[in-house]
Structure 1
Amino acid sequence: MKSPSATLLAEVRTFRQNHPDVRYVDLIALDIPGHFYGKRYPVEMLEKVAAGSPLKLPQNAVLLGAQGGLFKIGDYCFNDGDPDANRRLVPGTLKPVNWESQPLGQMLITSDGTEAPIEFEPREVLAKVLERLQHQGIHPVVAFELEFYLFDKQLENGLPQFARDPLSGDADDQPNLHIERLSRFSDVLDDMAQTAKDQGIDITVITAEIGPGQFEINFGHCDDGLRAADWAALFCRSTRGVALKQGYRASFMAKPYLQFPGSGMHVHVSLYDAAGNNLLAAHQQQPLRHAVAGCLELLPQCMPIFSPNHNAFRRLGGTVNAATRASWGFEDRDACVRIPDSDPRNLRIEHRPASADANPYLVLAAILVGLEHGLEAKREPIAPLNEDRNSGTDFPVEMLDAVRAMQQQPVLRDKLGAEFVDVYCENKRQDHLAFQQEIHAREYRWFL
């Protein structure tokens, strides 16, 4: 078998042979708010990294706020000397970029798997959860679904405008699910899908959603949780790039229009043992009920992960299919945890609360911790919505309340890591307070 460095070196050399016009490669990783940071490397230097040369970036790049600023979080950022931390290349992610004006490549990097992983790096948080489940003989299979909006490329007074129908030139301002919308926007949607496939992402179903210019892309079921989250992260990056190239803006913002549905990140998860048996389907599906109970129990304390910003909380209780209470149900899209109709082999949960702009690594980590907690605690869930339309438990609908709940939750501190929970909650708290520092024109209208 090849060593990791030999495999990476072969990947880089094959890439250079296939793409001789590419001079630079973006080495990228996701920070806490879900934005990519990294460095642009000359491709010849990438060979040296693949061969074993150190790859270091500032540790605190992971802590950037939503606008890219640094917050004082404990001793991080301002009292720690801003140290570098080792990163490694993620095999299989070196791909060409086709949405830039010049030939370019990109490749994921991470601290997980290094000698000193960053405890609060999102990919490392998920990696630890998956490793623990593997030691318990639990193997998740995961599929993400992501909704997004297309806007006109030009903003008007800083506000998004409806995407123009390429056929008529008119604004696509009629919310509907019509299949014709896929045809009218086929050029940009086909480019998005092909670009995603070129990145190694398994794209399946494309749907025109209810909102004007709103679409949903489904990914294939993947037995590698890290790769599934990689797909979701990379898809957001490539989709925004392709939209700009095609004369649009694409956004995964949770609630761009108050009067239209928000955009969600739905995650399908099934659990298997080493022999391929569906653990949720055993014993007349009793483990499924326990897993649902665990998800619902921890959902209120996980809201800062599922709704990671001020706008994401606006999506809750929206026009359609966005619950305001922790609930579950069979084939019920009003529920936070939906059980799709399936045979025992494919029995799974669909976790629906997360907004489309949430961090996919952390969303999946939180869902898996809920499932794990439920299987351990073996509690019965509340009644499903199919039996009681009023069933459900309350969860925080404001960021500061949600952060307080998350920071004090012992199961999350244990299974996600106390250091991560403290860092993440302070990052969200500081982001929220920074958002409140700007006086909006509405305040002058109301109070001047």
Structure 2
Amino acid sequence: MKSHPASLLAEVRSFRQNHPDVRYVDLIALDIPGHFYGKRYPVEMLEKVAAGSPLKLPQNAVLLGVQGGLFKIGDYCFNDGDPDANRRLVPGTLKPVSWESQPLGQMLITSDGTEAPIEFEPREVLVKVLERLHHKGIHPVVAFELEFYLFDKKLEGGLPQFARDPLSDDADDQPNLHIERLSRFSEVLDDMAQTAKDQGIDITVITAEIGPGQFEINFGHLDDGLRAADWAALFCRSTRGVALKHGYRASFMAKPYLQYPGSGMHVHVSLYDGAGNNLLAAHQQQPLRHAVAGCLELLPHCMPIFSPNHNAFRRLGSTVNAATRASWGFEDRDACVRIPESDPRNLRIEHRLASADANPYLVLAAILVGLEHGLEAKREPIAPLNEDRTSGTDFPVEMLDAVRAMQHQPVLRDKLGAEFIDVYCENKRQDHLAFQQEIHAREYRWFL
């Protein structure tokens, strides 16, 4: 996974030549809850790192909770001396940042490919899954779709307010799928799309979704699953920044309004062999059925990944196209695993369960492990929703139950790594318990 220092050095020097006004570069990585952490480096120091100087950050930065605090997880954080861990620069990710008040750059960093990768780093978890699949001759092609809401920049009493319609200055409080919403918010949406393209992200379709101020962005299909997850992570960062620049607040929160649809992360995955043949389409699509069965079998045990916080569980089973059970179907948006209509060459699954604020590296890793397990076990799936609208298996709908279902699942411990599973489950458990340590005003209204 390492890149030759000469190529990295050439990338940094080319960036400096093309962006002479940039003095600092943010070196960033995604932690377990899906937030970026890192350091702001003078660009001349970045050149030294690219040439081979060590780049170290605290290992336990990966373990940060949603609010940025550290939890005691095994011997990590409080009994390990808070050691540094080596990171490396991710080639091809050094790009300009256009949404800040001052010219900046940003570049992804990671522990994968170093002498001692961090076992619970989300990107490293995905790297191991992809490497194992490649050794088996399985090559995924991946595309993410992300939904998000635009809100007014200012909160009112801590609550989000509808985005203001730029043409009328009224609140965009009407749920609809109208194409006119794309026109009314074109200035900010166009800037989001162009900024993403400047980051090297292939933006394709933009859709006005059902919720007021809700949109969806689709990305191009990639034969590099790691890069596809990088795109999803970087898009969330740039979109929030661009929205603030235009006077809005962009959020990938799973369920910001109880009465309107939540925001999901839909992931399209197809699998090919070394010759470019679609593995799912072989033998009258029997491998597709096996892959679906594997996804559905592991799905109830992956809920802390697909619904990573208290709010994300609110999205499940609410309003439209939000599954309540592990299910599948052909051209059926009520299913967790949808099979879009396509020719055999492009046959794929669309995994629709994850919330938009889930960690894209972990979501993709969990989906791929489900597919891998299904191809190995060769079991038949339950009936699709097209044949039986009641078909499906239950999954946990509360975090502590979900953590218990995940922690001791043998396939996940084997294929995602036992150390990662233990660390991740404890991180989610502690985050959930910390969230509960506040008395809401409703409790006083009901029980005082």
TM-score band w.r.t. shorter chain: over 0.9
Q: 1:350 to 1:3 in 2, by over 3 A?
A: closer
Q: In structure 1, how many angstroms separate the alpha carbons of the residues matched to 2:154 and 2:56?
A: 38
Tell me if the contact between 2:207 and 2:217 (Cα under 8 Å) persists in the aligned partners: yes
Q: TM-score, normalised by structure 1?
A: 0.99
In 2: Cα distance, 1:174 partner to 1:3 partner: 49
Alpha-carbon distance change, 2 to 427 in structure 1, aligned in 2, over 3 angstroms:
closer
Contact 2:2 2:114 (C-alpha < 8 Å) held by counterparts: no
> Distance between the aligned counterparts of 2:316 and 2:245, measured in 1?
32
Tell me if the contact between 2:31 and 2:121 (Cα under 8 Å) persists in the aligned partners.
Answer: yes
1:114 aligns with 2:130: no
Trace 1:174-253 onto structure 2 (pairs within 5 A): 174-253=174-253
Tell me the CA shift for residue 4 of structure 1.
1.1
SS in 2 for 1:403: helix
- The 1:437–1:3 alpha-carbon spacing in structure 2 relative to 1, beyond 3 Å, is closer
Identity of matched residues, %: 95
Distance (whole Å) between structure 2 residues aligned to residue 76 and residue 424 of structure 1: 12
| Residue 376 (structure 1) shift | 0.2
1:432 aligns with 2:432: yes
User: Offset of 1:34 from its aligned partner?
Assistant: 0.1
**Could you tell me how far 1:264 is from its partner in structure 2?**
0.1
Aligned to 1:88: 88
Distance in 1, Cα, partners of 2:96 & 2:257: 34
1:383 equivalent in structure 2: 383
CA distance in 2, matches of 1:15, 1:399: 44
- Asked if the contact 2:307/2:354 (under 8 Å) is kept, the reply is yes
Task: Report the Cα distance in structure 2 between the residues aligned to 1:354 and 1:183, rounded to whole angstroms.
Answer: 29
Deviations 1:395-442 (A, max 9, x none): 000000000000010000000000000000000000000000011111
Tell me the alpha carbon deviations over residues 340-393 of structure 1, each in whole angstroms, 9 at most, x when there is no partner.
Answer: 000000000000000000000000000000000000000000000000000000
User: Closer, same or farther in 2 for the Cα pair 1:240/1:281, shift >3 Å?
Assistant: same
> C-alpha deviations, 1:297-354, integer Å up to 9, x for none?
0000000000000000000001000001000000000000000000000000000000
CA separation in 1, counterparts of 2:213 and 2:28? 29
Matches of 1:141 and 1:447, distance apart in 2: 53
SS in 2 for 1:393: coil
- Give, in angstroms, the shift of residue 91 of structure 1: 0.2
Q: Distance in 2 between matches of 1:61 and 1:3?
A: 24
SS of residue in 1 equivalent to 2:443:
helix
In the alignment, the residues of structure 2 paired with residue 148 and residue 4 of structure 1 have an alpha-carbon distance, to the nearest angstrom, of 37
Q: Which runs of 5+ in 2 are unaligned?
A: none
Q: What are the Cα deviations for residues 172-216 of structure 1, in whole angstroms up to 9, with x where unaligned?
A: 000000000000000000000000000000000000000000000
Residues 26-73 of structure 1 show CA distances to partners (whole Å, capped at 9, x for unaligned) of: 000000000000000000000000000000000000000000000000
SS state at 1:66 partner: coil
Unaligned runs of 5+ in 1: none
- Counterparts of 1:413-424 in structure 2, within 5 Å, are 413-424=413-424
DSSP-derived class of the 2:32 partner = coil
**Superposed displacement of residue 2, structure 1:** 12
Equivalent residue for 1:36? 36
2:2–2:113 Cα contact (<8 Å) kept: no
Cα distance, 1:3 vs. partner? 6.3
Please give the alpha-carbon distance, in whole angstroms, between the structure 1 residues aligned to 2:397 and 2:169: 39
Q: Quick one: distance in 2 between partners of 1:447 and 1:16?
A: 61
In structure 2, distance between residues paired with 1:25 and 1:106: 5
The question of 1:165 aligning with 2:170 is answered no
Cα shift at 1:269: 0.1
Contact persistence 2:172–2:213 (CA under 8 A): yes
Deviations 1:280-299 (A, max 9, x none): 00000000000000000000
Q: What is the number of equivalent residue pairs in this alignment?
A: 448
RMSD (Å) for aligned C-alpha atoms = 1.0
Structure 1 residues 397 and 5 mapped into 2: Cα distance closer, same or farther (>3 Å)?
Answer: same
Contact 2:3 2:91 in 1 (8 A): no
Q: Distance between the aligned counterparts of 2:4 and 2:385, measured in 1?
A: 49
CA distance in 2: counterparts of 1:186 and 1:340, whole angstroms? 29
Shift of 1:126: 0.1
Question: How far apart are residue 245 of structure 1 and its match?
Answer: 0.2
